[in-house]
Amino acid sequence: MEPKLAHICHCLLLFLPLLSQSTIAKTLSSPNHNSINFIVSSCHATRYPNLCVKCLSSFANKIRRNENRLAQTALAVTLARVHSTTVYVTKLTKARRIKRREYLAVKDCVENLGDGLGLLAQSMRELRQVGRSGRDRDEFFSRLSNVETWVSAALTDETTCLDGFDGKFMDGVVKSAIRRRVVHVARVTSNALALVNQFAARHK
pLDDT at site 31: 52
pLDDT at 13 over 60: no
Four-CA torsion 121, 126, 127, 132, nearest 10 degrees: 140
pLDDT at site 127: 92
Four-CA torsion 186, 190, 191, 192, nearest 10 degrees: 100
pTM for the predicted model, two decimal places: 0.83
Q: For the residues 145-163, what does the mean pLDDT come to?
A: 95
pLDDT at site 27: 43
Report the candidate in 165, 177, 172, 173 with the shortest Cα–Cα distance to residue 107: 165
pLDDT in tens, 120-140: 999 999 998 886 666 678 888
Contact 148, 193 (CB under 8 A): yes
